[in-house]
Amino acid sequence: MTTGDQRTLTIGAANGAASGLPRQGAAPQPESAPRQGLSIPVAPAPPKVRADSPEVRLRRLAGVAAWALVLVLAGVASAIVGLFKVFGDGPDWFTPAFISVGVVGMLLAMMAFATVRFKGVPWIFMAASTVTLLAAFAMLRA
């Protein structure tokens, strides 16, 4: 049972009457007599605090996703050509170097998505991922 006061919760009364309930259709009246029963002060809820991290800009996310799509398509093409070179007449250093460059490029692209909420950081990671793709193309030509 509550009184008209939003910050105080009154449970029960000494005489058994429902004195803590406001009457229907009437505004709550201030109480002049001391309360009887158990009164628990209830603090108002604290205001919601926004997280420290900034919001993700959807335009930035779309740009990173489009760049990653181009890198994936070019990476799949280079991986198919690299697969023929691995099973064909490629040098001994080619297989571990080609796989390492591909893994590093994928990790850099993933880091771009992980840091998309920051302003310039994902573009640095995507540029580094593009450099690894260009290194894979250079390995294919060698």
In the chain, what are the domain boundaries? 1-44, 58-141
pLDDT confidence of residue 22: 59
Query: Measuring CA to CA, how many Å separate 47 from each of 43, 44, 99, 109?
Result: 12, 9, 51, 38
pLDDT tens, residue by residue, 36-84 = 666 677 778 777 766 665 677 899 999 999 999 999 999 999 999 999 9
**CA distance between the termini of the chain:** 83
> Which two tokens mark 39?
């009164």
pTM: 0.60
- Residues whose CB is less than 8 angstroms from the CB of residue 34 and which lie 6 or more positions away in sequence, other chains included: none
How do strand 38-41 and strand 8-11 relate by DSSP bridges? Answer: antiparallel
pLDDT tens, residue by residue, 104-133 = 999 999 999 999 999 899 999 999 999 999
